[in-house]
Amino acid sequence: MIGEAAPSTSPEFLAPLFRCTVLQPPRYLVPPNERVVTHPPIDVVAGVIRRDDGQLLITQRLADDTLGGYWEFPGGKVDPGEELKAALHRELREEIGVETEIGAEIHHIVHAYPDRDVRLYFYDVRILSGEPQKLEVADLRWVTTDELMNYQFPDADRPLLNQLRGVG
């Protein structure tokens, strides 16, 4: 380097060397179907009960329940080791005081809520004895399929509601 000028270390000379665009770190968004679930899904059964005039029975969740105030088809959680139809028969007796005949499964869905996953099994149900009462529900109503959309249901019930209404 004898006879050559040493490279300048002045800020004007170095500035082009250090100009760059600062990149933000990548954001990794996990699609819902790739979430890591740390607990098993909750099995839930519900009954679609129809009267002879075609109206369906819906019940309102108690205010202090998860999704309190929402409407749903009557039913509830399956106990460990319990068969699905036996669980539905028990839940309908406890919630609305009726004895039932559980028919065929008419819909099944797995739904991811932010805090848990649920597997919902919907069955066609016929009341054998008793009149529905508000035992463990806030309210109950007989509604037409068109009236279903006037009530706030959990997101997991939407596909069944659409099926019952002949939509989608």
User: Residue length, the chain?
Assistant: 168
Other Cβ atoms closer than 10 A to 92: 27
Note the pTM of the prediction, 2 decimals. 0.75
| Distances in whole angstroms, Cα of residue 78 to Cα of each of 46, 91, 105, 113, 163 | 10, 9, 15, 18, 24
How do residues 126-161 score in pLDDT, each as one tens digit? Answer: 999 999 999 999 999 999 999 999 999 998 999 999
Q: In which band, very low, low, confident or very high, does the pLDDT at 34 lie, cut at 50, 70 and 90?
A: low
Q: Which two tokens stand for residue 135?
A: 């035992």
Burial tier of 51 (Cβ tally within 10 Å: 0-12, 13-18, 19+): exposed
Predicted pLDDT of residue 116: 83
37: CB partners within 8 A, 6+ apart: 117
